Structures are given as C-alpha cells and as structure tokens.
C-alpha cells in the first residue's frame, strides 16, 4: 500500500458540489486528494483526470503552461457529465518541486525548452510517480477510467499499475503566446498527443 485514506468531506465549487477525499503517502507523509462527483463505484468506466499540482498554473493563473486551464476544463467536463473523478497529486513541477521549477523557468527565460531546463538542473524531463493512484482508485471502488489527458506516458503508467484505461479523452485547452513553445515541446520531445494532430493520436488498444 502506497497511501492510506484519511477523511472525506463535501467541497462546493463553481462547477458543482464534489466529495473531497484525503490520502497520505505512508512512506513520506505527502498528501493527495481526490474529487469525486456522482456514483463512481457503479462498475462503469469513470471520466477521470490525474492532475499533478502546479501552484503557478492552478492558483496563480500562470500562462506559461496549460495546467490551470486543464484543471478547470476537467472539473467542468466532470460536472457536465454529472459523474467523474479528479485525482490531485502533490508533485509540483513534474516532480522537481516549486523552487526548482522557478530555477527551470529562469533557464527557459534564457532560451532553454522545458526538457533542457530540467536536464541542466540535473533532473529527468518528468519525475512524476503515479503509484499512489491505484490505492486511491481502489478505495473509491473504481476499476475503469476514461482518462482526460494528452500524455501517453500517463496512460502507460496507469496501465502498468493494473488500472484499466478504456478511453483517452483529449484535453487540449489554454494555448496562448506565452506557452506555445512549452506545448510544442510537449508534442515534439515528450510525445504528447494533441487533437490538432490526429495522425499522432493512435487509438488505445485493449
């Protein structure tokens, strides 16, 4: 077991009233949450997103990334569906932390792309870990996901944990002049799929 369940409560938002579930990593004490709406334990595939914390994008309205836009669109899509789940994982800056993300941003200001910036700081391009998702989903009684993501690594990581991803739902929002290079790097160097490039978006295989 990677995380243990702590407590649940109601969370009213502009998108609807969600149930918020708190979890704690057993080895580190790191905290993660899940937001659920409707009956997600009925055995049917659940519209879901695993969203890694981005303080600058999620809370400070940064336009350097698409994180805040994706968070809002995911919650909006779940509300429209009337049923779904968002796992909010506390792994800032693709796992390098907030202060190192600021250092990486400084390198990007000098011309590095997001991958180069991480590598110059001694990190891999993406250090995120999704192992806690299995325990969180198991606690909520969820076995199958319709996953909102553009990231093939995320699909593969969840499947390697034994989580059944039955559909990938594109989540391409928030492109602007400040994050065009960031998004292009996601596609060209990290293999992200985008709806404007259908040829790069192979169907998921069972």
All structural domains of the chain, each given as residue ranges with its CATH number in brackets, are 33-91+128-190 (3.40.50.10990)
Cα–Cα distances in Å, from 195 out to 57, 120, 169, 202?
A: 22, 31, 10, 11
Sequence-distant (≥ 6) Cβ neighbours of residue 102 within 8 angstroms: none
pLDDT at 98: 94
- Binding site per annotation, positions for Zn(2+): 54, 65, 67
Model pLDDT, residue 202: 40
Q: Is 126 a catalytic residue?
A: yes
Binding-site positions: 49-54, 65, 67, 70, 92-94, 114, 149, 154
- Residues (pLDDT < 50) of the chain are 197-206
pLDDT of residue 187: 80
pLDDT given for residue 186 in this prediction: 76
Torsion of CA 114, 117, 123, 127, to 10 degrees: -20
Concerning whether 189 is annotated as a catalytic residue, the answer is: no
Query: One of 66, 128, 135, 168 is an active-site residue; which one?
Result: 128
DSSP the chain: --EEEEEEEEEEETTEEEEEEEEEETTT--EEEEEEES---SSS-EEEEEEE--IIIIIS--SSSSHHHHHHHHHHHHHHHT-EEEEEE--GGGGT-HHHHHHHHHHHHTT--HHHHHHHTT--S-----THHHHHHHHHT--EEEEE-S-HHHHHHHHHTT-EEEEEE-------TTTHHHHHHHHHHH----TT-GGG-PPP--
pTM of the model: 0.88
Amino acid 190: pLDDT: 65
The one catalytic residue in 126, 184, 200, 201 is 126
Q: What is the pLDDT of residue 189?
A: 66
**What per-residue string of b and e applies to 38-71 under the rule 16 or more CB within 10 Å gives b?**
bebeeeeebbbbbbbbbebbbeeebbbbbbbbbb
């Amino acid at each position: 077991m990677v995380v243990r369940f702590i407590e649940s409560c109601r969370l009213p938002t502009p998108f609807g009233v969600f149930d918020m579930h708190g979890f704690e990593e057993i080895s580190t004490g790191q905290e993660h949450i899940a937001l659920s709406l409707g009956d997600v334990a009925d055995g049917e595939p659940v519209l879901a997103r695993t969203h890694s914390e981005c303080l600058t994008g999620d809370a400070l309205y940064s336009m350097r990334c698409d994180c805040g836009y994706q968070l809002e669109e995911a919650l909006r899509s779940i509300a429209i569906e009337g049923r779904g789940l968002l796992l909010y994982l506390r792994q800032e800056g693709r796992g390098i932390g907030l202060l190192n993300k600021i250092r990486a941003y400084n390198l990007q200001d000098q011309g590095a792309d997001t991958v180069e910036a991480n590598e110059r700081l001694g990190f891999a391009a993406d250090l995120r870990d999704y192992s806690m998702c299995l325990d969180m989903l198991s606690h909520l009684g969820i076995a199958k996901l319709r996953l909102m993501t553009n990231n093939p690594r995320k699909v593969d990581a969840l499947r390697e944990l034994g989580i059944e991803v039955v559909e990938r739902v594109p989540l391409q929002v928030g492109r602007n002049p400040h994050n065009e290079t960031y998004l292009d790097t996601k596609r060209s160097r990290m293999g992200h799929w985008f709806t404007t490039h259908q040829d790069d978006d192979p169907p998921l295989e069972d």
